[in-house]
A and B are shown apart, each in its own frame.
Chain A
Amino acid sequence: MSQAKIKVENLSLWYGAAQGLKDVSVEIGEHAVTAIIGPSGCGKSSFLRTLNRMNDHVPGTRLTGRVLLDGEDIYARGQDPARLRKRVGMVFQRPNPFPMTIYQNIAYGPRVHGQRGEARLREIVEQSLRRAALWDEVRDKLQKSAFELSGGQQQRLCIARALAVEPEVLLMDEPASALDPVATSKIEELIVNLKESYTLIVVTHNMQQAGRISDRTAFFLSGELIEFGPTRDIFTRPRDRRTEDYVTGRFG
């Protein structure tokens, strides 16, 4: 694995008085898929959201520790969350297209970051849709409303939309949990293909999925990072008793 793209040092997160993350330290490698697993409420989504500062928008959150992207602390004074989010994109559990055409959905991100030329925007839209494996299905209905797509297509649209701003890292919060099995496998295939160009971090409650798509896996429990390592090791020779219990289905 190459050098750490994201390095988390002693990260703790509080929602008001409740502590959601306890002293988490981990290094995420580039051009790889890192899965985050654990039972509900263990903090996986909270952790994911600290990586692009989405927690800033939840009032009452407090954070200690550091999150370094290519060596720079994203929470340092003077850091611009908008620029961060251009480099670290996010795809959510439920597809959430904007009430616009497919084209406008994809073009939204680049436009926000200053991209004006129509020709260039058309290129970006096509490129992003190709990367998200959606171009062939929508190439002749770019002016249709995004809501006319099926659930699986909408989710791939959201992925294309996130890719359009050319991020380096893509965070995915249970991206396939709202989809049917066929759509799910399409998304999984896409994730594996994307790691060539991007660094992906995928939260999932589905262990088999983690096994299929990821290179490394992090296991969270009650806000703590219990174990982190190559996916195969986590599933076949977990070092911690709790990890073993989880991956063998004794709880979760």
Chain B
Amino acid sequence: MNVTWRRVKDRIMLALAALMGIIILVPVVGMLWLVVSHALPALSFGLFTQVTVGTGGGLANAIVGTFYVVGLGILIAAPLGIMAGVYVGEVNPGSSIAQFVRFTTDVLAGVPSIVIGYFGYVTLVLGLGWGFSTLAGAIALALIGIPYVVRSTETALSKVPRGMREASLALGASQTTTIWRVTLREALPGVVTGVLLALSIAIGETAPLLYTAGWSNYMPNLRLTHAPIGYLTYVVWTFINEPFASANSLAYAAGLLLLILIVIVNVAARRIVARSRMGR
């Protein structure tokens, strides 16, 4: 086959790949433009101070509710995920138990969030009689997020140089002290990235919360059970289907706030990783 045809084919493939890159930009840019432009009418001080009232009002209850239920969910997911990651990565690495746990965690990560939400509905909302509640929502979010924390923790721990652990043990420290004061400290950036990833996912979840947290037009109180709670993703889904312009604007405003939150979390994660690389 002559060289010119091969070179042409090479160029064509490059062009195709570039085309793919451009194609993917279309929805990204489209989404950002759509949300920003349509959210503008609703942006006002009242957005942050008023609660949702019927098909209008503000997003105060949804914003606080998101922080509340997501915050609680991560509060549950982070320590549990880190402990499981420590077991698989430090206490008993390489064993078949560890492999099995890792495998199961990975499969759990692939379970659709609606399934986990329905599971929460059946066991917590109905079974334990909590009704739509913050705690049920938080537990559902935690179940969804834990696999990511476990995976990141384990990966981060595996990158810690062996000598560091040995130095700690050689000084007379126990394995527990070594793990929690030295190894995890060195692995912290990776661990935090995992937690932030779980956070980012939790912020964007809707379906599981529909089945566990319900919805509330009121500012969240501190009741963990027997009281539903509002959250931003609910607003996006329900209010966009309302025939009222005020509701639609709120939906876009909620979408914009969600995007901003997610960008903040992602940028924070990158900064942490970048900062940890300095000085080595």
Contacts and interface: CB of A to CB of B under 8 A. Distances in A.
A92 interface: yes
Given A96-B163, A99-B185, A99-B186, A90 B170 contact: yes
B27 interface: no
B172 A113 contact: yes
Contacts of B174: 82
Contacts of A250: none
Given A52-B170, A112-B173, A96 B185 contact: no
Given A92-B163, A96-B161, A82 B173 contact: yes
| Interface residue SS majority, chain A | helix
A86 B172 contact: yes
Contacts of B168: 98, 108
Q: Give the interface size bracket for B toward A.
A: 10 to 19
A98 B182 contact: yes
Contact of A98 (B167, B170, B172, B280): B167
Contact of B164 (A96, A148, A165): A96
Contacts of B186: 98-99
A38 interface: no
B163, B167, B174: which has the most chain A beta carbons within 10 Å? B167
B163 A98 contact: no
B278 to A, nearest CB: 10
Contacts of A92: 163, 166-167, 170
Contacts of B173: 82, 108-109, 112
A85 B182 contact: no
B123 interface: no
B185 to A, nearest CB: 5
A148 B279 contact: yes
Interface in A66-115: 81-86, 89-90, 92, 94, 96-100, 108-109, 112-113
Contacts, number: 69
B279 A147 contact: yes
A57 B178 CA distance: 13
B171 interface: yes
Given A99-B185, A145-B279, A158-B167, A109 B172 contact: yes
A162 interface: yes
A92 B139 CA distance: 45
B104 interface: no
Contact of B185 (A89, A100, A112, A165): A100
A89 B171 contact: yes
Contacts of A99: 164, 182, 185-186
A90, A100, A112, A113: which has the most chain B beta carbons within 10 Å? A112
B163 A94 contact: yes
Interface in B148-204: 161, 163-164, 166-174, 177, 181-182, 185-186
A124 to B, nearest CB: 13
A98 B185 contact: yes
Interface in A146-184: 147-148, 158, 161-162, 165
Given A112-B177, A147-B280, A96 B172 contact: no
Interface of A: 52, 54, 57, 81-86, 89-90, 92, 94, 96-100, 108-109, 112-113, 145, 147-148, 158, 161-162, 165
6 contacts: A82-B173, A86-B171, A89-B171, A94-B163, A96-B163, A108-B168
Complex A-B, nearest 3 residue pairs according to Cβ-Cβ distance, in ascending order: A96-B163, A85-B172, A90-B170
Given A109-B172, A162-B170, 11 more contacts: A96-B166, A98-B168, A99-B185, A99-B186, A109-B173, A112-B172, A113-B172, A161-B167, A161-B171, A162-B171, A165-B172
